[in-house]
Amino acid sequence: MNTGRWASNAQNNFFTRLGSILPNLKGEVMRTSSLSLLQDPMVVVLAAGHGGSDSGATNPPHNERDQAITITNRAAALLQRRNVDVEIAPHDEDTDKSIVWVNRNFSFGDAWVLELHRDSADGLDLDDASRRCGIYYGTSERSKDVGEFVRRSLLLHGAHSQSWARPDTASRFGRLGWIRQTRPAAHLLELGFMQGKNDDAHLSWLAEVAASAIFEAFTGRSWNL
Ligand SMILES: [Zn+2]
């Protein structure tokens, strides 16, 4: 039996790798992300998937665009409450216009940009459809590192065990414009399925799961500490 400080549970090991927490003079917390892609960016940019006249997946009366907007606004508020600098891409713009907006305002190294979606598929049981989340990453190893970190963090915060991290080449489209065409580091989250729970409390839960994972990847700190 090992009772030393390095014998803590898996969650503690996950964070002891990430370094210490040092408050600076402004009362904010210095970021200690171990993820090289996220060490320079100072801002998290969130965009709701779809938007404008593109409503995304539907499960009447619910549509993905409106739920993604709700989740994005709530996740942003949760992150801002933890002193993370968050910008939200305009909700009236579809993905193509959001990409233009991102590239007009941010460059590589400025920001970490994430587009938030709801997934859609038939045949899943309710719990799986409600809680299975995923993240698409880009072609670099550094982007994959972020994706794998976020997947582990999603799982720690209650996402379904089938939650995944995949390259955008494994997406239905073979590549994702949000990831390939934006200048900053970019990932895309899928937060539960439209065929799962759609009530307001569940959307809040998904927002907190997403915010937790984004926070932990971006700051190197545990959401629960
Ligand atoms: Zn979508």
What is the pLDDT at residue 23?
Answer: 45
The closest of 137, 26, 45, 38 to 93, measured between CA atoms, is: 45
Assess if residue 192 is contained within a domain: yes
Report the separation in Å between the CA atom of 53 and the middle of ligand 1, taken as the mean of its atom positions: 13
Mean pLDDT computed over every residue of the chain: 89
Q: What band does 206 get if pLDDT is binned at 50, 70 and 90? A: very high
**Is the confidence at residue 5, as pLDDT, over 50?**
no
pLDDT on residue 28: 54
**How many angstroms separate the alpha carbon of residue 189 from the centre of ligand 1?**
9
Residue 200's SS3 state is: helix
- Domain CATH number, residue 83: 3.40.630.40
Q: How many C-beta atoms surround the C-beta of residue 55 within 10 A?
A: 14
Query: What dihedral angle (degrees, nearest 10) is formed by the CA atoms of 22, 153, 119, 93?
Result: 10
User: How far is the C-alpha of 97 from the C-alpha of 39, rounded, in Å?
Assistant: 27
Tell me the pLDDT tens digit for each residue of 46-97: 999 998 889 999 999 999 999 999 999 999 999 999 999 999 999 999 999 9
Rg (CA), the chain: 17
Measure Cα distances from 204 to 72, 107, 210 in Å.
10, 31, 10
CA-based nearest residue to 49, from 212, 163, 171: 171
Measured between alpha carbons, how far is 119 from 105 in angstroms, rounded to an integer? 28
Instruction: Return the closest-CA partner of residue 83 out of 36, 124, 26, 164.
Output: 26
CA of 120 to the centre of ligand 1 (A): 8
Q: What's the 22 CA to ligand 1 centre distance in angstroms? A: 38
Least confident of 21-25, 30-34, 42-46: 21-25
Contact (CB, 8 A) for 41 and 107: no
In a domain, residue 9? The reply is: no
Q: How far is the CA of 217 from the centre of ligand 1 (A)?
A: 22
**Is position 26 within any domain?**
no
- Report whether pLDDT(43) > 80: yes
Domain that includes residue 79, residue range: 37-219
Q: Give the pLDDT of residue 33.
A: 85
Q: What angle do CA 204, 111, 222 make, to 5 degrees?
A: 50
Q: Report how many domains make up the chain.
A: 1
Rounded distance from Cα 170 to ligand 1 centre (Å): 15
What is the CA 31 to chain-centroid distance, rounded? Answer: 17
Q: Is the pLDDT of residue 170 over 70?
A: yes
Q: Is residue 62 part of a domain?
A: yes
pLDDT for residue 119 is more than 70: yes
- Asked if residue 171 belongs to a domain, the reply is yes
Q: Write the CA distances from 90 to 2, 39, 167, 197, 220, integer angstroms.
A: 52, 26, 26, 26, 28
Rounded to the nearest angstrom, the distance between the alpha carbon of 168 and the centre of ligand 1 is 13
Better pLDDT: 33 or 18? 33
Of all residues in the chain, what percent carry a pLDDT higher than 70? 86
d(CA 142, CA 148): 10
Entry pTM = 0.87
Cβ within 8 Å of residue 27, ≥6 positions away: none
